[in-house]
Amino acid sequence: MAMPLESPITFTNIGKTRWWQRGIFASQTGYVLLALAVLLVIMHFASPYFFTEGNMQNVAKNFSFIAIATLGVTFAIITGGIDLSVGSMMCFSAMIASMVMTELSTPGSPAGSLFVHMAADGKTVLANVPGLILLISVLAGLGVALIAGLVNGFCIAVLGLSPFVTTLGMLSIVRGLGYVVSNGRGSFPGGPDADYFYALTSGDVLGVPVPFIYLVILALAMAVVLHHSSFGRHVFALGGNEKAAELTGIPVVRVKIEVYVICALAAGLQGIIISGWLGSAPANMATSYELNVIAAAVIGGANLAGGIGGPLGAIVGCVLLEVIRNGLVLAQVSSYWQQTLVGVIIILAVLVDRIRSRMI
């Protein structure tokens, strides 16, 4: 029964898959990226305004407004879950952030005296420590997102509720809380730090919109986490075979909770950025954005069955949606067609992937 085990193994029977059948080339993300490139060329010839600097800035800014949340949802989708509460989360975080900012910037209020004082003219409010109010209010906004994410994660991972139902409930809970705290009126960032806030959320650096810069940084961080950390490996394993993940000793509960916290934080950050661009956080802000976000993730190649997805796909999905919207406007097509077309593209993207995987 002894065998010559030390000689190197050969691969006579097992062929190596061709480079074009592996990695990004064999993924839905690759096909959609190709479709996007074709679409950009078509847009260039269809409208002379498309590739102007102003329009490009517009496109970059607009897709960045849902792309950060899409990165977060992609995490949940890779584990085989979903987060429907992102739209409401955006609104609630933005609202809390701007309410805290306004509250801390009001001179007579209990907390306000620590942070602001009146200038000599008796009208202008000055910050005691510039930027501190901004920091605290953004942290407050992210803090509520963290709590909502923990609740989502606890219900899904520990109590074993379905992600769909849990986050559907959270969608309603968080939206309702937004109406409660603002009395349905929404809120506005105010006080001495408001200018910093606008600069950091809707400004630009050398012509590049700030939200786009945040997006690129977060997407790179996500790529590293997903493909080069144990946590990322576990996220993929969870989506591929949850039972196997559990048997091999992966801390399934912890990974799931972390994923829903990341998702909620991404949505919260996204909401705060949007409120900077809007100049307010109305109570109906980002209503039904969860559908755009999930659509973008799915178009970009995230598989709702779990196990597949990534930051590039999330961004490509968002860009595609935005280019189509922008293109329809430039082509003077009624904007009502946009939603119909988005639906068609979702189905097409998934269909092409299905046909491709049957062919191989």
Residues that bind another protein (CB under 8 A): 1-3, 5, 8-14, 16-17, 224, 227-230, 233-234, 236-237, 239-241, 243-250, 307-308
CB burial of 213-222 (b: ≥16 within 10 Å; e: otherwise) equals ebbeebbeeb
238/307 Cα distance (integer angstroms): 7
* Encoded tokens for 312: 């590039």
Least distance (Å) from another protein to the CB of residue 243? 7
57, 205 contact by CB (below 8 A): no
Least distance (Å) from another protein to the CB of residue 113? 38
119, 125 contact by CB (below 8 A): yes
Residue 204 or 242 having the CB closest to another protein: 242
* Encoded tokens for 244: 């196997």
Residue 190 or 306 having the CB closest to another protein: 306
Task: Dump strand ranges (E) for the chain.
Answer: 116-118, 125-127, 204-205, 208-209
Least distance (Å) from another protein to the CB of residue 320? 24
Least distance (Å) from another protein to the CB of residue 162? 21
Q: What are the residues whose beta carbons fall under 8 Å from the beta carbon of 97, sequence distance 6 or more?
A: 137, 138, 140, 141, 189, 272, 275, 281
Least distance (Å) from another protein to the CB of residue 215? 21
142, 148 contact by CB (below 8 A): no
96/263 Cα distance (integer angstroms): 18
> Cβ of 335: how many Cβ atoms within 10 Å?
10
Give the CA-trace dihedral at 190, 150, 262, 238, to 10 degrees: -170
Residue 16 or 123 having the CB closest to another protein: 16
Residue 178 or 307 having the CB closest to another protein: 307
177/359 Cα distance (integer angstroms): 49
Residue 21 or 284 having the CB closest to another protein: 21
Least distance (Å) from another protein to the CB of residue 6? 8
Residue 127 or 235 having the CB closest to another protein: 235
Least distance (Å) from another protein to the CB of residue 13? 6
Residue 6 or 53 having the CB closest to another protein: 6
Q: Which residues pair with 116 in a beta bridge?
A: 127
